[in-house]
Structure 1
Amino acid sequence: MSTTSWDRLLIDATLATFTGDEPYGLIANGAIALHEGRIAWVGRRSDLPANAERDAGIVERVGGALITPGLIDCHTHLVFGGDRAHEFDLRLNGASYEAIARAGGGIVSTVKATRAASEDELLAQSLPRARALLADGVTTVEIKSGYGLNLESERRMLRVARRIGETLGVTVRTTFLGLHALPPEYKERRDDYVALICDEVLPALAAEDLVDAVDAFCENIGFAPAETRRVFECARSLGLPVKLHAEQLSDLEGAALVAEYGGLSADHLEYLSESSIRAMAAAGTTAVLLPGAFYALRETKLPPIASLREHGVAMAIATDCNPGTSPLLSLRLAAGMACTLFRLTPEEALRGVTHHAAGALGLSDRGTLAAGQRADLVVWNVDQPAELCYWIGGDLVHTIYVAGHPIDRR
């Protein structure tokens, strides 16, 4: 490609490419060219083609600032009605997450608030949360349903998720989470509810192109492995990939189950067993770590990080942004928490919110800085990658590019 066709060239940059063998894939005094929404060239500035800096459409010097791929939040429940701050208070006064859920709180209380909200009201409540993620460097976000638990309300949630992407100009991947909780009207009819989800709700929403993947909450207070398998079979028949909330509170071997279906990810994983890790490794299923929920619930059981490393399982990190157990609005903070709470290295954490997070969503066109990749990237007000995990809070973003164009992150 002739350099005269490059739309934009960023020079004098420190590039964390997350490619190659160097830590972070780091390139000092680097340059990156963008063209028609893609990365056209990346490397050392000294290796630029002749006349590149003269011929590119726009040339920007970034003064040695760090550039990374745009961050990817691969597990959120960002669309919901109301909040559950009172449950935070209850937990601090000794109530467990499971006890709150069994008493009618938890997910079911958010279902009531979400069902009562119109589509526009849900959008108005959810957009500030999405903007907070964007302001901190997120350019791709996964958003789950699961607070509607009937066709009309699940459809409304997924439509709002699509509208968030359109409004903010970022990529939104939608995940159908019909098996999130048992709605009150099906309290004594579990089989009927699972049948409703598999036979009616999921097929209808998939036909409307509102679903990119299918998830379930496989847990003692959620849904059993056999019920999860039913929705996975439905997803398979519709050609949809699967992922799973697994091993957060107990070991039901959900991670092995989702691996059996070639799942994109297994998420949470505090009670993950060695045999399930081997299954994930064989299937290429990504482990999504959610330190926000671990922190908010004051958990003490750590995910088996050393074993995941040993077996070469890719580890992603996400906010799990939700009203009850992880009201977290910074993916960069989640990466720092993964370092301090789970003992990941900063490089592992940053790969977990870029390259491995892309894998957890089945996206191969982003998450690294390489020619041909989508030109989603962030210029940071820092000099070295570890600072993104080191600083607790604060505004470190200089500029965000989505598909090669700078965007208003506010």
Structure 2
Amino acid sequence: MFRNPSNTVSESQSLLLYHAAQLVTPIGNALKHGKEMGKLEIIPDAAIYIEGDTIIEAGPTDILLKKYHPEKTGMESIDLTGKVIIPGFVDSHTHFVFGGYRPEEFIMRLSGAQYLDIMKMGGGIQSTVDATKNTPAETLFSDGFKRLNDMLSMGVTTVEGKSGYGLDRDCELKQLEVLNHLNREHPVDVEVTYMGAHAIPRGYPGGSDAYIDFMVKEVLPLIREKKLARFADIFCEEGVFTPEESERYLGTCKDMGFDTKIHADEIIPLGGGELAAKTGCASADHLLAVSDRGIQMLAGSDTAATLLPCTAFCLNKPYAPARKLIDAGCAVALASDFNPGSCFTNSIPLIFSLGVIHMGMTIEEAICSLTLNGAGALKRADTIGSIEPGKKADITVLAYPDYRFLVYHSAKNIVTLVIKNGKVCYDEAKRGV
């Protein structure tokens, strides 16, 4: 059952979770780098006391029950015997607001078709651009709401959503307005990113430089004025935007007050990782072809290396070098890259399985990457991403007594309860009621 926090069944202002088999969480208010990613606090027979939307205390059940009794008036309490408490997942890279689908391309790729061949047949990103322009905002909203419901059922409490399927002014603004509307109406928090620099519009006069000028002069000021996005992102890749163009664009975005992200080194080592570290991006995303120099620079920066294993899986490409990045001291985050073209999945269980089984991460590192480091990739690690006093009460409950079931029960959703801002917003046991 899904609930909006403003319409919850219970009106209690406090919540006690107790007798959880384990409480498992990273600790801290910033990105975790390297070996620090594997250090989690694990409390057996654990409890959490929440007031309003904030965690007040977490620790052993016997200690908290002496201070916060479940029968206290106005307190809701939930016995979590046999279950595990972890922070709500943060999916820090998605393109979940779009029109149309592209299943035929997926099958064509499996048969060996190349992206350029698909584009010549009318597919690729331009297909989604055309469909999104022709999709009413109301439909984008209703479809987006359903997708957020699906994310919530897998324990996601915060998600990043990008525009980028308009490549003009009006459709980009339409997507951003829908994302903001979803953030207001749905329990899951939506961090909004403007990604007009997703591709160069078909036949754009003047090419990439002229299109960047257009975004800077005619689109970004409107986004800033209407406060429609916190982040700006660009696809730095051969045939799209060069490192020089990307640096110019990202610098202008920062000067205008936007935080920045970059799609970096997805296909060839073009220097996107280096550029992200140099310019202070919140994250460098993809990194399948990141260079040794890029890894070194990211390791010495506050930029998250956000890896998207489901995209490599769907494209049948080699995975990003997670083990190499972590061993070098980088702060690695994992995210879905949910989109209608290269990665039509937002499966958190699949991300865990791929990250640990195929990318060489430990399960502890994977948990950190989808909680605290996901929050850090959105510059929100001070308020979400871990279970600590003073942070938002964004909590995911697993149906099994050990956190290792996240990978042991491979690619299976084992989330049974999700609490967002101190309120139960998803209860697997009551689905359909």
TM-score (norm 1): 0.94
Q: CA deviation at 1:77?
A: 0.3
Match of residue 16 from structure 1: 24
Q: Matched residues in 2 for 1:102 and 1:350: separation?
A: 41
Q: CA deviation at 1:55?
A: 6.5
Q: Matched residues in 1 for 2:57 and 2:282: separation?
A: 29
The answer to which of 101-110 and 279-288 deviates more is 101-110
- The verdict on how the C-alpha distance between 1:104 and 1:370 changes in structure 2, with shifts beyond 3 A counting, is same
Instruction: Kindly report the root-mean-square deviation, in angstroms, between the aligned alpha carbons of the 2 structures.
Output: 2.0
1:251 has 2:265 as partner: no
- Provide, for residues 270-328 of structure 1, a one-character-per-residue CA deviation record: whole Å limited to 9, x for no partner: 1111111121122211111101110111103x322233122211111111000010111
The answer to which of 131-140 and 39-48 deviates more is 39-48
- The verdict on how the C-alpha distance between 1:390 and 1:221 changes in structure 2, with shifts beyond 3 A counting, is farther
Q: Give the counterpart letter for 1:44 in structure 2.
A: P
Q: Matched residues in 1 for 2:98 and 2:239: separation?
A: 20
Q: CA deviation at 1:387?
A: 1.0
- Provide, for residues 110-146 of structure 1, a one-character-per-residue CA deviation record: whole Å limited to 9, x for no partner: 1000011111121123222221111111110000010
Q: Matched residues in 2 for 1:367 and 1:47: separation?
A: 24
Match of residue 9 from structure 2: none
- Provide, for residues 222-266 of structure 1, a one-character-per-residue CA deviation record: whole Å limited to 9, x for no partner: 211122112212211111111111111001101111111111111
Q: Matched residues in 1 for 2:322 and 2:346: separation?
A: 24
Match of residue 179 from structure 1: 197
1:42 has 2:58 as partner: yes
- The verdict on how the C-alpha distance between 1:275 and 1:180 changes in structure 2, with shifts beyond 3 A counting, is same
- The verdict on how the C-alpha distance between 1:224 and 1:339 changes in structure 2, with shifts beyond 3 A counting, is same
- Provide, for residues 320-361 of structure 1, a one-character-per-residue CA deviation record: whole Å limited to 9, x for no partner: 000010111222321222122212111111111101100000
Q: Give the counterpart letter for 2:94 in structure 1.
A: T
Match of residue 25 from structure 1: 41
1:137 has 2:158 as partner: no
SS across alignment from 2:16: strand
1:345 has 2:374 as partner: no
Q: CA deviation at 1:40?
A: 0.3
Cα contact 1:145–1:176 (8 A) shared by 2: yes
Q: Matched residues in 1 for 2:111 and 2:161: separation?
A: 31
1:85 has 2:100 as partner: no
1:323-402 → structure 2 map (5 Å cutoff): 323-363=340-380, 364-402=382-420
Q: Which of 193, 199, 219 pairs up with 2:237?
A: 219
Q: Matched residues in 2 for 1:371 and 1:79: separation?
A: 34
Q: CA deviation at 1:384?
A: 1.1
Match of residue 328 from structure 2: 311
Q: Give the counterpart letter for 1:19 in structure 2.
A: I
Match of residue 124 from structure 1: 142
Q: CA deviation at 1:103?
A: 5.6
Q: Matched residues in 2 for 1:111 and 1:281: separation?
A: 36
SS across alignment from 1:199: helix
Match of residue 280 from structure 2: 262
Q: CA deviation at 1:200?
A: 1.4
**Fraction of identical pairs, as percent:** 34
The answer to which of 182-191 and 291-300 deviates more is 182-191
Q: CA deviation at 1:47?
A: 2.8
Q: Matched residues in 2 for 1:53 and 1:194: separation?
A: 59
Q: CA deviation at 1:206?
A: 1.7
Q: CA deviation at 1:187?
A: 6.0
Q: Which of 227, 242, 246 pairs up with 1:228?
A: 246
Cα contact 1:6–1:40 (8 A) shared by 2: no
Q: Matched residues in 1 for 2:111 and 2:76: separation?
A: 57
SS across alignment from 1:31: strand
Q: CA deviation at 1:86?
A: 0.9
Q: Matched residues in 1 for 2:250 and 2:231: separation?
A: 10
Q: Matched residues in 2 for 1:257 and 1:45: separation?
A: 47
The answer to which of 366-375 and 18-27 deviates more is 18-27
Q: Give the counterpart letter for 2:418 in structure 1.
A: I
Q: Matched residues in 1 for 2:304 and 2:61: separation?
A: 34
The runs of 5 or more residues in structure 1 that have no matched partner are none
Q: CA deviation at 1:49?
A: 6.9
TM-score (norm 2): 0.89
The answer to which of 389-398 and 34-43 deviates more is 389-398
- The verdict on how the C-alpha distance between 1:369 and 1:250 changes in structure 2, with shifts beyond 3 A counting, is same
Q: Matched residues in 2 for 1:336 and 1:187: separation?
A: 45
Q: Give the counterpart letter for 1:377 in structure 2.
A: I
Cα contact 1:73–1:357 (8 A) shared by 2: yes
Q: Matched residues in 1 for 2:67 and 2:13: separation?
A: 12
Q: Which of 172, 179, 182 pairs up with 1:161?
A: 179
Cα contact 1:274–1:307 (8 A) shared by 2: no
Q: Matched residues in 2 for 1:58 and 1:234: separation?
A: 49
Q: Matched residues in 2 for 1:83 and 1:271: separation?
A: 28
How many residues align? The count is 405
The answer to which of 333-342 and 320-329 deviates more is 333-342
The answer to which of 196-205 and 135-144 deviates more is 196-205
Cα contact 1:179–1:228 (8 A) shared by 2: no
Q: CA deviation at 1:6?
A: 7.4
